[in-house]
Structure 1
Amino acid sequence: MRRERQGCLIPAVTAPRTIVIAGAGIGGLTAALALAARGVRVLICEKAARLEEAGAGLQLSPNATRILIGLGLQPRLAPHVTTPASVSIMTARSGGEVIRLPLGSPDSHAPYWLVHRADLQSALLGAVTAHPDIELRLGCPVESLRATPAGITVNGEPALALIGADGAWSFVRRQLFPETQPHFSGLIAWRGTLETSRLERTLIPQGVQLWMGPKAHLVVYPVSSGERINMVAIMPGAAMQPGGSDAGDASEIRRHFAASRWPANARAMIESIDNWRRWPLLTMPDGGMWHEGSVALLGDAAHAMLPFAAQGAGMAIEDAAVLAECLRPVGDDAAAIAPALARYATLRQPRVTLIQRTARQSGQIYHLHGPMALARDLTMRALGAGRLQARQDWIYNWRL
């Protein structure tokens, strides 16, 4: 049964255990599935009249894929994901590889996936619209919320709780914490894709390539089962209009990497893409903002972070799973909602804080130049692949 509707009128006959989710992005859709798997009726309110492709590629490490597989999404995603064997850390200083880290997981139920964001959203959306206890309403922004003794009213109708999964410029967060808004980091993410067949054969990455360079870095990897190549270039830029992205001038990014004297192979990959889009990289204070009463936040609404640990989507997926588990024993008891959401915040805040700091520190390391870049490269080689990869275990081995 397809439960996707247009229009914003929330029905007055909501079931007593209805939880409303604001936002139908990756975090919101995952939360809906996780809550419904625990017997909760879910209503998703999405302001967009139509869900369209946004962003480009995503890296999903085992901490995230473990959850998606547990929600039954593997059959929907299998035709679209790529499972890389390694990440090659490259240096713009010489144009060569510094070290190669294996990405194979001893847990076959939690692989490392590369996927186009549109393919992941499509898989989540298919599962959501097929679920009898989830209703998705498009063109339906959350415009008002008010606490009541029985829970909360959303757009004038009763609900047990409201989950703000509506992104870095969250309307829900503004109602709870109006003084806390995302901060522009001074960095812009340029994202683009192209068909693999259009890239020179010697430049096609077999896994993930991370290029480190002066005040910029480049990440390249296959998506769509290897049929397309995703590129993300991070470089300084001016602030943009809140809440979106825009088309990037290909000549601007080419000039930046040429002026920084990046090696020819890296520049050739950048020059292969004509259509770039730019996103401002936004951050929230370390630790994030989580809940008040019967309202909670997840994903970028709670803790927008730099993408340099490749955990933006992963943290939203983890948030969704922990939130659903904390709400599982609540039943219809409105008085139990706030303590359950407080527990959710207590469980998530320490880990998210560490991820935020790790991402920020990684970006600083990637962008070193001169003697500091040489020292970085030598240190990585001295540590070796095993010890460097082990530093990710605390991220990848997380389980609910």
Structure 2
Amino acid sequence: MKDLRIAIVGAGIGGLALALALREKGIECTLYEAASELREVGAAVGLSAASTRYFIDRLGLGGPLEERWFEVQALIYRDGRDGRKIAEHRFDYRARYGAPWVGIHRVDLQVVLTGAVGMDAIKLNKRLVDIDDSGNEAVLHFTDGTSATADLVIGADGARSTVRRLLLGYDDALYSGASAFRGIVPPEQMPSMPDPEAIQFWMGPGRHCLHYPINSEGDHNFFLVERNPSPWPHKGWIAPTNDEEKLASFGDWAPAIVEMVSAVSSTERWALFHRPPLSRWSKGRVTLLGDAAHAMVPHHGQGANTSIEDAIVLAEQLAAGTDLDAARAEYERLRRGRTRKIQYASITNADVLHLPDGPRADERNARLADPSAWDRHLDWIHGFRPGEEEPSAIQGGTWL
């Protein structure tokens, strides 16, 4: 399928990863990005072994990425109010999985991926409004009045995907019942933080804080999550906020958390939406990838990783020489079960993190602290090798 004309809608992490994966297979493509310049929404992203292994071993991007990311040394759970350590999982992650677990600023990741793809393959200011798939080719129509044609259109345009909405005919976003404050804090503004080299979850009734280092300077990305009434009361996914609102929910937490989240002002509150699993990701000449196919809440930190895994598998299937329908069917078969499971695990992880004080929280703490907890609940995520494991080989589950 090397002569296939492929249009990728969206030049975020998933779209760029797919362009690189296709190029590795000798297949070129064109990316159409709505923004006038490439920029990522949000602050940072965690990448586990499936992604970092591919970037290092297959794409040769280890050098520029290792200069920008921070290799995480442990996963730690704490009580959000008194700061006591509940569980710590610390081992040689790179030796076990063949690649590091890292935090990286989204902009830094996108800069490296964009440089590898090259701007010649990326068309900016191309906001999609329609896809005409009624003839012998798909025709993409953009708000600037231009159009483009393709044999295959890949919707990699994120959680608020226009391609998905056009395929379904409606917007199926679901509010998860939680919203979040975000921020990036330099290490000198959080001197009280214990174990700054780790990914840490601080847990409390109805809320939690996730934070991790994202570069060699030790800057930390934090993500404060709080349960809210449903439905989301604001128009759009982002609402204005202020520091008083943030500290009303977290101001009585452990001093290290208050110190960190008070170091930067918050002006936006992010509603956490997800989307229900689809029975099919393809229709006609159009296929979905990443958040467009399976948007999930970030409580397992796997949104970017599953997008990259999708890209690896889709590129391999398109390069396999089978017909287009068979290639996409196999792509979906290999990816659907795993992404559904991670979607479910992510949404239920908030229930685990937000338990009220009492016997169930005590049981959770004991399970988290069990030395075998990583093997039982997280190895299935981190040990996965896209394209090398059948869906039936995915084992493991949620914490409770």
TM-score range relative to shorter protein? 0.7 to 0.9
TM-score, L = length of structure 1: 0.87
Q: Does structure 1 residue 43 correspond to structure 2 residue 30?
A: yes
Moved more, 58-67 or 111-120: 58-67
What do residues 125-164 of structure 1 show as CA deviations (whole Å, max 9, x unaligned)?
A: 111117xxx6100001233322256442223543120000
Alpha-carbon contact 2:192-2:259 (below 8 Å) kept: no
Moved more, 180-189 or 19-28: 180-189
State the match for 1:123 in structure 2: 112
Q: Does structure 1 residue 34 correspond to structure 2 residue 21?
A: yes
Moved more, 285-294 or 227-236: 285-294
RMSD: 2.2
Question: Equivalent residue of 2:380, what SS?
Answer: helix
State the match for 1:6 in structure 2: none
Which amino acid in 1 is paired with 2:219? R
What do residues 94-150 of structure 1 show as CA deviations (whole Å, max 9, x unaligned)?
A: 4200010125232574111111111111111111117xxx61000012333222564
Question: Equivalent residue of 2:31, what SS?
Answer: strand
Gaps of 5+ in 1: 1-14
State the match for 1:291 in structure 2: 282
Which amino acid in 2 is paired with 1:249? N
State the match for 1:241 in structure 2: 235
What do residues 303-333 of structure 1 show as CA deviations (whole Å, max 9, x unaligned)?
A: 11111111011111111111111111348xx
Tell me which of 188, 193, 208 is aligned to 1:217: 208
Q: Identity of aligned pairs, percent? A: 32
Q: Does structure 1 residue 397 correspond to structure 2 residue 383?
A: yes
Moved more, 181-190 or 287-296: 287-296
State the match for 2:398 in structure 1: none
State the match for 1:106 in structure 2: 95
Alpha-carbon contact 2:5-2:150 (below 8 Å) kept: yes
State the match for 1:342 in structure 2: 329
1:346-357 map, 5 Å: 346-357=333-344
Alpha-carbon contact 2:208-2:225 (below 8 Å) kept: yes
CA distance in 2, matches of 1:288, 1:300: 15
CA distance in 2, matches of 1:110, 1:32: 22
State the match for 1:62 in structure 2: 49
State the match for 1:90 in structure 2: 78
Offset of residue 389 of structure 1:
4.2
Offset of residue 55 of structure 1:
0.9
CA distance in 2, matches of 1:355, 1:398: 12
Closer/same/farther in 2, CA of residues 213 and 98 from structure 1, 3 Å limit: same
CA distance in 2, matches of 1:138, 1:304: 24
Alpha-carbon contact 1:45-1:138 (below 8 Å) kept: yes
Closer/same/farther in 2, CA of residues 225 and 289 from structure 1, 3 Å limit: farther
Alpha-carbon contact 1:196-1:204 (below 8 Å) kept: no
Closer/same/farther in 2, CA of residues 288 and 92 from structure 1, 3 Å limit: farther
CA distance in 2, matches of 1:263, 1:92: 6
Alpha-carbon contact 1:205-1:220 (below 8 Å) kept: no
Offset of residue 397 of structure 1:
1.4
State the match for 2:363 in structure 1: 375
CA distance in 1, matches of 2:199, 2:212: 5
Alpha-carbon contact 2:159-2:291 (below 8 Å) kept: yes
Offset of residue 250 of structure 1:
1.3
Question: Equivalent residue of 2:95, what SS?
Answer: coil
Which amino acid in 2 is paired with 1:50? E
CA distance in 1, matches of 2:241, 2:312: 35
Alpha-carbon contact 1:289-1:302 (below 8 Å) kept: no
CA distance in 1, matches of 2:239, 2:67: 30
Alpha-carbon contact 2:49-2:97 (below 8 Å) kept: no
Offset of residue 16 of structure 1:
4.5
CA distance in 2, matches of 1:246, 1:194: 21
Tell me which of 224, 241, 247 is aligned to 1:254: 247
Question: Equivalent residue of 2:250, what SS?
Answer: helix
CA distance in 1, matches of 2:262, 2:188: 15
Paired positions, count:
374
Which amino acid in 2 is paired with 1:337? L
Gaps of 5+ in 2: 142-146, 388-400
TM-score, L = length of structure 2: 0.87
CA distance in 1, matches of 2:168, 2:177: 23
Question: Equivalent residue of 2:121, what SS?
Answer: strand
What do residues 52-98 of structure 1 show as CA deviations (whole Å, max 9, x unaligned)?
A: 24311211111221222222221221111111110111112542000
